[in-house]
Amino acid sequence: MELKLNKPICFFDLETTGIDVAKDRIVEISIFKVFPNGNKESKTWLVNPTISIPPQSTAIHGISNEKVANEPTFNELASQVYNMIKDSDLAGYNSDRFDIPLLAEELLRAGVDFDMKNRVSVDVQTIFHKMEERTLSAALKFYCNKKIENAHSAEADTMATYEIMKAQLDRYPELTNDIKSLSEFTTRKKIADFAGMIAFDDDNDEIFAFGKHKGVKVDKVLETEPGYFSWIQNADFPLYTKKVLTAIKLRKLNNKFN
């Protein structure tokens, strides 16, 4: 079943130096863009992460320090990557919890003001886990009766994710062939930032989801303990979390003076 799209959607996958969203870097990124008219566009980049790739990561994706030594850095590629995704919804495999947060960090680090305000995301892994609970390779075998060739390359994983999502729509009539509906189905919890540090309560107000102020409205903490904002800004939190917190503070100031 082909996707019903109101805007383009970019399936993407990252290979990285590790799994720490705030600290690790991209070593390969592949994007497969599908347009509402059925046209498709694909691009894959190797990336010099500017930090050493640990041997345990190379053992998974096969990308060594030597392989990317002469490749462009993400700073050099950021505008190309952003131009490809800027008008699109996003989809991936475990993308809500890892790929999108890490991509956001890289873009913000490169000076690109990325956010999710005008787009939604679909995590194909969540559909799979809610329906069958397996791995990406098993998902491709289960839904498409195919075997991943060159697994753990970003391009192979991206194409596998796209094929799985289409097959999931064929298999499950209860799924709606609409990206917004699929995004809602794959959203685990409503959060304001990718890392889940700031969530929403039943009143749709932002609350802290960690630490001593867990469950407390962000506005209240900023008012009663203004130093908490500075602590987060100067501590080792993801850049996107800091950006969201800054936006909340600016909104509070604007409301105060309006």
Angle between helices 124-131 and 154-171 (to 10 degrees): 50
For the chain, 258 residues long, give each residue's pLDDT as a single digit of tens.
899 999 999 999 999 999 999 899 999 999 999 999 999 999 999 999 999 999 999 999 999 999 999 999 999 999 999 999 999 999 999 999 999 999 999 999 999 999 998 999 999 999 988 887 567 888 899 899 998 887 778 999 999 999 999 999 999 999 999 999 999 999 877 899 988 999 999 999 999 999 999 999 999 999 999 999 999 999 999 999 999 999 999 998 887 766
User: What pLDDT is attached to residue 150?
Assistant: 78
Tokens matching residue 41? 């566009």
Rounded Cα distance, 131 and 126, in Å: 8
Neighbouring C-beta atoms of residue 134, cutoff 10 Å: 15
Query: What's the sign of the alpha-carbon dihedral 169, 129, 148, 55?
Result: positive
The reply to whether the predicted model has a pTM over 0.85 is no
Max distance between CA atoms of the chain, in angstroms, equals: 61
Kindly provide the residue ranges of all beta strands, DSSP E only, lying in 35-99, ordered along the sequence: 40-46, 89-92
Please give the single-letter amino acid code of residue 223.
E
Rounded Cα distance, 89 and 179, in Å: 8
Rounded Cα distance, 126 and 149, in Å: 23
Rounded Cα distance, 156 and 127, in Å: 19
CB 195 within 8 A of CB 32: no
* Cα 46 off chain centre by: 18
The DSSP result for 108-122, as a single string, is HHTT----STT--EE
- Residue-wise over 90-128: b if at least 16 C-beta within 10 A, else e? bbbbbbbbbbbbbbbbbbbebebebeeeebbbbbbbbbb
User: What pLDDT is attached to residue 69?
Assistant: 96
